[in-house]
């Protein structure tokens, strides 16, 4: 990219950040500190070494869902009713035991 932009302003921080954001999520935390100090060529070399030595992750990444959703088969009210029934059964068992 630097060769293509010869004589033009080349914002290396922008390109480093863009490169970093495109890295696999399991590599980003490893290179987070190097992003601040290392040139992009060094980051690319480190990334290659990590992938060669560690390989891809062994499990799939699970996306975080920020909110809970009720199942389509049963509305939330049905779950609440079921929980109340179970609580009543637990209370009855406790009373029988005492």
Per-residue pLDDT of 60-89, as tens digits, reads: 666 666 665 555 666 888 889 999 999 999
Backbone angles phi, psi at 7, to 5 degrees: 85, -15
The whole-number average pLDDT for the span 93-98 is 84
Angle between helices 12-21 and 28-37 (to 10 degrees): 180
Inside any domain, residue 80: no
Question: Which residues span the domain enclosing 44?
Answer: 12-54
The number of domains in the chain is 1
Inside any domain, residue 67: no
Inside any domain, residue 38: yes
Inside any domain, residue 70: no
Structure tokens at 82: 């079921």
Per-residue pLDDT of 14-50, as tens digits, reads: 888 888 899 888 889 999 999 889 988 999 999 999 8
Inside any domain, residue 26: yes
Structure tokens at 76: 């939330």
Cα-trace Rg, the chain: 27
Q: Is the pTM of this model over 0.85?
A: no
At which residue do the structure tokens 């199942």 appear? Answer: 71
Inside any domain, residue 40: yes
């Amino acid at each position: 990219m630097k060769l293509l932009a010869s004589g033009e302003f080349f914002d290396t921080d922008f390109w480093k950040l863009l490169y970093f954001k495109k890295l696999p999520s399991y590599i980003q935390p490893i290179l987070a500190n190097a992003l601040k100090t290392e040139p992009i060529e060094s980051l690319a070399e480190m990334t290659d070494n990590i992938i060669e030595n560690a390989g891809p992750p062994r499990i799939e990444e699970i996306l975080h869902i920020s909110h809970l959703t009720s199942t389509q088969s049963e509305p939330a009210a049905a779950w609440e009713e079921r929980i109340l029934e179970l609580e009543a059964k637990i209370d009855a068992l406790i009373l029988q035991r005492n």
